[in-house]
Amino acid sequence: MCGIVGYVGAKRNIPEILLEGLKRLEYRGYDSAGLAIGLDSGMEILKSPGKVKELDRKLKAGWTQDKFKNAKVGIAHTRWATHGPPNEVNAHPHSDSKNRIALVHNGIIDNYSELKARLSSIGIKFKSETDTEVLANLISECYEGDLCSAVAAALKQVTGTYGIAVIAKDQPDKIVVARKGSPIVIGVGDDEAFVASDISPLLPYTKRVIYLDDNDITVLSRSGIDLRNMDNVPVTREIAHIDWDANAAEKDGREHFMLKEIEEQPLAISNTMRGRMDHNLVTAKLDGLNLTPRDIAGVSRIVIAACGTSLHAGMVGEYYFEDLTSTPVEVEQAAEFRYRNPILDRDTLVIAISQSGETADTLAAIREAKQKGALVASICNVVGSTIARETGRGVYLHAGPEIGVASTKAFTCQVATLLMMALKFGRAGRLSRSAGQKIISELEKLPDLVRQVLDSSDKIARIAKKYSSAKDFFYIGRGYLYPVALEGALKLKEISYIHAEGYHAAELKHGPIALLDENVPVLALANNIPGKDKVIGNIQECRARKSPVIATATFGDKDILKHADDVMEIPECSDFVTPIPTVVALQLFAYYVARERGCPIDQPRNLAKSVTVE
Ligand code: F6R
């Protein structure tokens, strides 16, 4: 999804800081990039389709060291096309027809067509197909020397979402930023200030950040940060201190962020659980939920809303709540939930799960739930993200930044969090102390269980190589491993581009079995959990259609070799936690298949890390 970075100050080389910032935003997924630099003599805008390195090349081709020597302000952008194809004209920054201002924008201006018609009727000519160019012209029309007032006046005419950064040709020492529905973070420096759409470009320069709220508008200059609302009333926002360091967002010597993130799961899961086990009361301490045992007793129903991988985690959570509590649970695709007429009341707890905390559909779902009076909580990774802030109560994963577009450590930490939540709810109700103790001790083994799977990655890589030329794949599982089959298939398709479907093992014979033959491998999750015998039966159905079978099985299961061509071993553990080591094997499998096929693993085509449009 689109990314923004900006800098004002005299301490740094502006083109370098902008390009470096854009590189740190690459993980979000994008298709073009651009920058605008304010100079005493005017404003330079440079854009390019494709990757940031193209922009860099273009800049250096026309760049003399002296050109930007005295520059004090710059903004830059990576664009993920929404209005008009990814090309140079549609790339940001956009300027107005008089070239007075330059603007970068994340989000979508819903009423841009009518604004464009109005501006066209007064003679303004547009070069691009974007909604952003319309906003640039609207700001320019309002501009009479005070950029902040012009931006506020223009935004008052706009419906939709935006995170924006604007500079003016005649004020080459300030940036005006504003947000509504699209995140903007300000980096606080000494005699300098930074802006970005998330914290990763800011980390090398400052750990002090301010998250803007919706309808905030702010002027950044060397002399400070002037925070206001749209009615020009000064507002105060807390300065947060970020403990992620810049290295945490780098690859640590691995070929891909995805591999680094798969391998750091023992640590990520430990961080998720750190300080949260209450051995005395045999429960989980999740203070951010802000729910007393009495509040929990009042919850008559739980609805989990999420998208993609987070949705699959939610599906595992449904099993947890149903096994450990007496509370009925429904798991909803956030996009669908929002457009139905969900029946919610004060006794319903809606749990939004989102790694980024910015997914538009999930955000819309919680807004709907709040409006209908439900209790709303979230499970997010990104601290200070919109979903986390809007729900007000929830649990952070503390998994560290997830840069690879394919979500890995967020999934395992979400599942661990859901198990802790179900433990907390269970212990406030019918779950016995001894059953609770068993869950805590299984949770505490998780980092080690994952390490054991990681130790077998060479074997998984060999199996992956063998199947890497397949065109289609099925993943099947039952019980706790059914959502894991869905997640394993999602991982394979998104990074290797192999068509892969996750199915409940029993559903295969209700249709998809027609597709099986010797060219369609089936990955069957056949660990020792209830339902294993039936999965073995389903494997037989696949083999009878000549499908090669790869199975996950519990360490030491000699029998499985009779049923499967290849086996990925998963350490012995209780059914509760088995989704976590099992999914790690599937993540590695997908990773090595994609690597074998030479795919761009961290930035798969057509995908974005944070999906902030519906
Ligand atoms: C898959 C993936 C996506 C996300 C989905 C929700 O690997 O990353 O399916 O899980 O876009 O994103 P979040 O969790 O940020 O709401």
Mutate to test the pocket of ligand 1, among 28, 304, 309 (most ligand atoms within 8 A of CB): 309
φ, ψ of residue 403 in degrees (nearest 5): -100, -45
- What pLDDT sits at residue 339? 84
Atom of ligand 1 nearest to the CA of 382: 15
Going by CA atoms, what residue is nearest to atom 10 of ligand 1?
A: 309
Instruction: Say which DSSP state 335 is in.
Output: H
Query: Which positions of the chain have pLDDT values less than 70?
Result: 1, 28-29, 65, 82, 245-253
Going by CA atoms, what residue is nearest to atom 11 of ligand 1?
A: 308
Each residue's pLDDT tens digit, 415-474 = 999 999 999 999 999 999 999 999 999 999 999 999 999 999 999 999 999 999 999 999
What amino acid positions are annotated as catalytic residues? 2, 609
- What pLDDT sits at residue 338? 81
Q: Are 75 and 93 in contact (CB under 8 A)?
A: yes
- What pLDDT sits at residue 1? 62
Mutate to test the pocket of ligand 1, among 307, 361, 411 (most ligand atoms within 8 A of CB): 307
3-state helix, strand and coil shares in percent for the chain, rounded to the nearest 5: 40, 25, 40
Chain centroid, CA 130 distance in Å: 25
Q: Are 434 and 421 in contact (CB under 8 A)?
A: no
Burial class (CB in 10 A: 0-12, 13-18, 19+), 334: buried
Burial 394-405 (b: 16+ CB within 10 A, else e): bbbbbbbbbbbb
CA of 265 to the centre of ligand 1 (A): 17
CA of 470 to the centre of ligand 1 (A): 25
Each residue's pLDDT tens digit, 105-137 = 998 898 999 999 999 999 999 999 999 999 999
Mutate to test the pocket of ligand 1, among 385, 490, 611 (most ligand atoms within 8 A of CB): 611
Atom of ligand 1 nearest to the CA of 362: 16
Instruction: Say which DSSP state 213 is in.
Output: P
* Structural element, H or E, at residue 435: helix 433-455
Cβ-proximal residues to 137 (8 Å cutoff; 6+ apart), any chain: 96, 97, 119, 124, 126
Going by CA atoms, what residue is nearest to atom 3 of ligand 1?
A: 308
- What pLDDT sits at residue 248? 59
**Cross-strand partners of 187:** 194, 209
CA of 397 to the centre of ligand 1 (A): 14
CA of 268 to the centre of ligand 1 (A): 17
**What DSSP assignment string belongs to 164-210?**
EEEEETTEEEEEEEEEEBS--EEEE-SSEEEEESSSTTTTTT-SEEE
CA of 353 to the centre of ligand 1 (A): 10
Atom of ligand 1 nearest to the CA of 359: 16
pTM (global) more than 0.85: no
Chain centroid, CA 69 distance in Å: 37
Distance (Å, whole) CA 200 – CA 211: 13
- What pLDDT sits at residue 246? 62
CA of 499 to the centre of ligand 1 (A): 18
- What pLDDT sits at residue 493? 97
- What pLDDT sits at residue 613? 72
Distance (Å, whole) CA 475 – CA 489: 6
Pocket of ligand 1 (CB under 6 A): 307-310, 354-356, 359, 362, 406-407, 490, 494, 610-611
- Determine the 3-state secondary structure of 370 from DSSP: helix
CATH numbers and ranges of domains, the chain: 2-249 (3.60.20.10), 251-449 (3.40.50.10490), 456-602 (3.40.50.10490)
- What pLDDT sits at residue 253? 63
- What pLDDT sits at residue 252? 60
Each residue's pLDDT tens digit, 16-43 = 999 999 999 887 668 899 999 999 889 9
* Structural element, H or E, at residue 570: strand 566-570
E strands present in 355-458: 375-380, 394-396
